[in-house]
Amino acid sequence: MTALLTVNALSVHVDGAGAPLVDDVSFELGEGERLGVIGESGSGKSLTALAVLGLLAHPLRASGSIRLAADGGDVEVVGARQRRLDTVRGSTVGAVFQEPLASLDPLMRIGAQLAWPLRQHRGLRGDALRRAVLDALADVQLAEPERIARSFIHEVSGGQRQRVAIALALAARPRLLIADEPTTALDVTVQAGVLELIQSAVAERGMSLVFISHDLPVVAGIADRVVVMRAGRVVEAGETRQLLSAPREGYTRTLVAASRALDDLLPAAPLDGGRV
Amino acid sequence: MTVTVPTAAEQKPAARRTRGRTSINLVVGGVLFGVIVAVAVLSLFALPYEPSDTTGGRLQPPSGEHWAGTDRLGRDLFTQLMIGARLAMLTGLGSVAIAAVVGVVVGLVAATAGRWIDDALSSLLDIAIAFPTLLLAMLVVAWRGASLDSAILAIGLAGSAVIARLTRVTASRVLAQEFVKASRTSGTGTLRLIRLHVLPNVWPTLIVPLALQFGGAVVAEASLSYVGLGSPPPNASWGRMLQEAQSTVLVAPSAAILPGLLLVATIIGVNLLADGLRDVADPAGRSIR
Ligand SMILES: Nc1ncnc2c1ncn2[C@@H]1O[C@H](COP(=O)(O)OP(=O)(O)OP(=O)(O)O)[C@@H](O)[C@H]1O
Ligand SMILES: [Mg+2]
């Protein structure tokens, strides 16, 4: 299998100060593969994602190597110039973040925001562009794409916002989607729908996925392989089923045990039965 | 998320408190300023007398023929006041345009270029902000000669330092927002990022300071004129008219009072307008609604 993303000995430091926030992280992601990244709050999941996107801002600094297999050859993200990064972002890698309201410009209509990556990466203009915007919104199962396109982000609901953010991430048809806790900020009732959308979009397009979450059951349902992070380090990695059925590392065991305990606590039968 | 300096939560009660007053500010400011703009525009097409017409008799008090009286060469003062309005608008617009263009460009460069450039520009801005406008004006005059253009250039450059710093701070805040990261991840380059997201989100915070600078520029030009750095009558600014009138103020007080009153009216009008604009320009107000 050819690797789409190869992270090797990635560390993230605060400029000139102390202990690393991400410490010697390595993993690989093949074409079409889905990787879950799990770990407690502050374990460095988001920083790892930002590093892969080349979005670490001063005073944060990455070292090590992050290679993306782009169309025009491999790109080394660590230390890359902004221009170089602009060529892989969108077309090779796209991202969805935790807070959908913050992910869109409050002063720009949703349709206009969605139009830019479509123009830039697919060269669309005029009517074709307008249709592509509506299609992109319909693709993420938004009813009334016309109305949504005309709205500002604060004028649509939380679940719709995250769907718009996903549409934005998918617009340039990236081969890798990085989703950093895409459902954490959402109401439980809409979480399942957004998860399903991500899963089906990734499957339909044969994309690779890095899915970051605190939520073990969610990651178990979506990822082929899992990386467990703690205090900036990868403490365990492996195939999802194997890792969950026989967690070797103490921390993973605690996580698994905790989510089992939670399952036991929930009156599973009435809940399932109660749903139509 | 909004990009105004105070958070939306901090701002809401204040906005509610001032909402009633704000509309009055807008109306009064708009009327005062509107009248002066109208006079300035009118002066382009019609003046009661030729500016250099000296047939009016010297230092006449206001009368039916000469509404504001005449100066010591017998030229009509009302005509001069109308021309002064035009020059005041020109001064305000010109220096605000210079301050906006120079300030925004410098601020954006500081916010988006590397740390090294940012630090260097920030130190330069500290110096520029501390630099007295009058001294800067004298330097410009020494370079280009005394004229209204020189005054506008000096005042505009002096104002640009504050605008640059404000732009840098606000632009940095916008650049740190999640939606900028999201836009970046879809491949948006730096220049387009600035055009699509940074400028539209920075503008609202600049409107009020720029409007205030308009008033400040008119006053600054008046002070420069008063020390003799403006063009002489009959195409004089109000400040220069004040200077001309000072030696004869006891004989013909209206020649000093009227330009002074117009100056004050302009400043009050612009400041009230700026106050009123604050709410309109506030992006928080937009997202709350
Ligand atoms: N800009 C920054 N400067 C300094 N430290 C930072 C910065 N951003 C993050 N950190 C620190 O880096 C560590 C890892 O942060 P990160 O956001 O990657 O955690 P996370 O695993 O995504 O947590 P969560 O699940 O809560 O989102 C945290 O201890 C955080 O405080
Ligand atoms: Mg995080």
Cα separation, A148 vs A146, whole angstroms: 6
Q: Taking the model in full, what pTM does it have?
A: 0.81
Place of tokens 């005041």: B88
Cβ distance A105 to B178 less than 8 Å, yes or no, reads: no
pLDDT-based confidence at residue B22 (cuts at 50, 70, 90):
low
Closest ligand (CA of A51): 1
Within-domain flag for B129? yes
Pairing of strands A3-14, A17-30: antiparallel
pLDDT of B279? 66
The Cα of A51 is separated from the nearest Cα of chain B by a number of Å equal to 12
Within-domain flag for B2? no
Structure tokens at B265: 């009216």
Average pLDDT, chain B: 83
Q: How do residues B146-197 score in pLDDT, each as one tens digit?
A: 888 888 999 999 999 999 999 999 999 999 999 999 999 988 999 999 999 9
Taking the CB of residue B41, how many other CB atoms lie within 10 A of it? Answer: 12
Q: Which of B44, B43, B50 is nearest to B73 (CA)?
A: B50
Cα separation, A216 vs B145, whole angstroms: 75
pLDDT-based confidence at residue A1 (cuts at 50, 70, 90):
low
For the residues A112-125, what does the mean pLDDT come to? 93
Place of tokens 């105004």: B4
Instruction: Choose among B2, B184, B200: nearest Cβ to A55.
Output: B184
For the residues A115-138, what does the mean pLDDT come to? 94
Any idea which fold A3-99+176-265 has? Answer: Rossmann fold (3.40.50)
Q: What is the DSSP letter of B70?
A: B
Within-domain flag for B69? no
Higher pLDDT, A127 or B231: A127
Enclosing domain of residue B175: 27-37+77-281
Within-domain flag for B43? no
pLDDT-based confidence at residue A55 (cuts at 50, 70, 90):
very high
Lowest-confidence range among A102-106, A134-138, B220-224, B225-229?
B225-229
A102 has a pLDDT exceeding 70: yes
SS3 of B54, please? coil
SS3 of B266, please? helix
pLDDT more than 70, % of chain A: 95
Higher pLDDT, B88 or B245: B88
Distances (CA, A) of B207 to A108, B96, B128, B203, B236: 19, 11, 21, 6, 29
B233 has a pLDDT exceeding 80: no
Cα separation, B278 vs B21, whole angstroms: 12
Q: Which of B35, B74, B19 is nearest to B252 (CA)?
A: B74
Domain of B143, CATH number, reads 1.10.3720.10
Give the nearest ligand 1 atom to A49 CA. 18
Interface ipTM: 0.84
Lowest-confidence range among B74-88, B135-149, B177-191?
B135-149
A267 has a pLDDT exceeding 90: no
Burial of residue B2 (CB within 10 Å: 0-12, 13-18, 19+) is buried
pLDDT of B197? 95
Higher pLDDT, A210 or B70: A210
Cβ distance B200 to A94 less than 8 Å, yes or no, reads: no
Between residues 73 and 112 of chain B, which touch chain A (CB distance below 8 Å)?
none
Question: Phi/psi of residue A91, each to 5°?
Answer: -85, -35
DSSP H or E segment with residue A273: helix A268-274
Contacts of B63 (CB under 8 A, 6+ apart): B69
Spatial strand order of the sheet with A17-30 comes to A17-30, A3-14, A60-70, A73-76
Average pLDDT, chain A: 89
Dihedral angle at the C-alpha atoms of A233, A239, A245, A246, nearest 10 degrees?
A: -50
B7 has a pLDDT exceeding 70: no
Give the nearest ligand 1 atom to A47 CA. 18
Cα separation, B244 vs B238, whole angstroms: 10
B201 has a pLDDT exceeding 50: yes
Query: How many contacts, defined by CB atoms under 8 Å, are there between A and B?
Result: 91
pLDDT of B137? 81
Q: Which of A210-219, A246-255, B96-105, B130-139 has the highest mean pLDDT?
A: B96-105
pLDDT-based confidence at residue B105 (cuts at 50, 70, 90):
very high
A276 has a pLDDT exceeding 60: no
B19 has a pLDDT exceeding 70: no
Structure tokens at B110: 């500081």
Which residue ranges have their beta carbon within 6 Å of ligand 1? A 14, 21, 39, 41-47, 60, 214
Place of tokens 């016309």: A146
Lowest-confidence range among A265-269, B105-109, B225-229?
A265-269
Q: Which residue of B has its CA nearest to A105?
A: B179
Number of Cα atoms under 13 Å in the Cβ half of residue B113: 13
Name beta bridge partners: A179: A96, A211
Give domain limits for chain A. 3-99+176-265
Within-domain flag for B244? yes
Within-domain flag for B249? yes
Pairing of strands A60-70, A3-14: antiparallel
pLDDT of A73? 86
Lowest-confidence range among A173-182, B4-13, B52-61?
B4-13
Query: How far from chain centre, in Å, is Cα A104?
Result: 16
Cα separation, B94 vs B155, whole angstroms: 9
Lowest-confidence range among A87-101, A227-241, B41-55, B270-284?
B270-284
Number of Cα atoms under 13 Å in the Cβ half of residue B244: 25
Q: Count how many domains chain B has.
A: 1
Contacts of A231 (CB under 8 A, 6+ apart): A23, A42, A43, A44
Taking the CB of residue B153, how many other CB atoms lie within 10 A of it? Answer: 20
Within-domain flag for B49? no
pLDDT-based confidence at residue A264 (cuts at 50, 70, 90):
confident
Q: Whose CA is nearest to atom 8 of ligand 1?
A: A47
